[in-house]
Structure 1
Amino acid sequence: MALTRDAILAKSTDPEVEEVPIPEWDDSVFVKGMSGAERDAFEMSSRRKGETDLRNYRARFLVRTLVDESGKRLFRDEDAPTLGKHPSRIISRMFDAASRLSGMDDEEVEEAEGNSEEETAAMAAGSDSPSFSPATSAAHAQSFSPAPTPVS
């Protein structure tokens, strides 16, 4: 039997929260998944003149999804520029967990970031396109990054 309207509306709206280890900081952080309304608001805030604004995209996402143990946001939206100055490897680890919890698979992240197969092919061919793909760049950088040094 399918769920009824009342049964769906009665379901919990508590976000899923996950602890993400940050070995570089000898600690961890908590990230939460966005609700549908929160994700829509974030995506709308990332649009400028019909285009996705990729400036500090991951940090702008993280200020909305990094939380304390009780699920309360740690940052305000205006903290994104400072958060974005942290190492990309750490930002990417937190972003990957938060985007997964928010139901954003790689294809959806690329679409939100405006990365089409045509843009990726043009960039690979050396096009002067100003398009930038954080997901593609992170994957590319990761494939050439040395193995992490163990923290003693």
Structure 2
Amino acid sequence: MTYLSAEQILGANDLVYEDVEVPEWGGTVRVREMPGTERDKFEAQFIGKDGASVRMEGLDGFRARLAAATIVDEHGKQVFRSAAEAKRLGEKSATALQRVCDVAMRLSKMSEDDVKELAGN
């Protein structure tokens, strides 16, 4: 058996993308799986300073923040780069956001149980 080296692992192009048709927005967006550090950062938004409790804001803006974190351009760069843009994204169609989030969660292996755990349920 041959094991992978650190160089081979770090050099692997392992992030998955999927193009999602969003008729409410009049076109297609590219949704990318979250890299591990980005998922950690995303989930940390919901955790209290004690590392165990859920922040008071709970899951407010969850869909918009997830969509903003995973919608990328053709080069894999995030389209929405600021909290203000993510907040504005939250004002868009819930149906469109959910369609994007469903793909983002599937690609990033984020389950409903993960979301419930973040919510403290």
TM-score normalized with structure 2 length: 0.81
Unaligned runs of 5+ in 1: 117-152
Answer yes or no: is the 8 Å Cα contact 1:17–1:32 preserved in 2: yes
Separation of aligned partners in 1, 2:8 and 2:114 = 25
Q: Quote the offset at 1:8 in angstroms.
A: 5.9
| Structure 1 pair 111–9 and aligned structure 2 pair: CA distance change class (3 A) | same
TM-score normalized with structure 1 length: 0.66
Q: Which runs of 4+ in 1 moved over 4 A?
A: none
1:103 pairs with 97, 103, 109, which one? 109
Give matches, 1:111-150, under 5 Å: 111-114=117-120, 116=121
Aligned equivalent of 1:46: 46
Aligned equivalent of 2:97: 91
Q: Quote the offset at 1:10 in angstroms.
A: 4.0
**Count of residue pairs brought into register by the alignment:** 115
Q: Quote the offset at 1:57 in angstroms.
A: 1.1
Separation of aligned partners in 2, 1:5 and 1:87 = 45
Separation of aligned partners in 1, 2:3 and 2:64 = 37
Unaligned runs of 5+ in 2: none
Aligned equivalent of 1:145: none
| Same amino acid, percent of matched pairs | 37
SS in 1 for 2:63: helix
Q: Which has the higher contact order (CA 8 A, sep 6+)?
A: 2
Q: Quote the offset at 1:97 in angstroms.
A: 0.5
Cα RMSD of the aligned pairs, angstroms, is 2.1
Aligned equivalent of 1:119: none
Q: Quote the offset at 1:75 in angstroms.
A: 0.6
Larger radius of gyration: 1
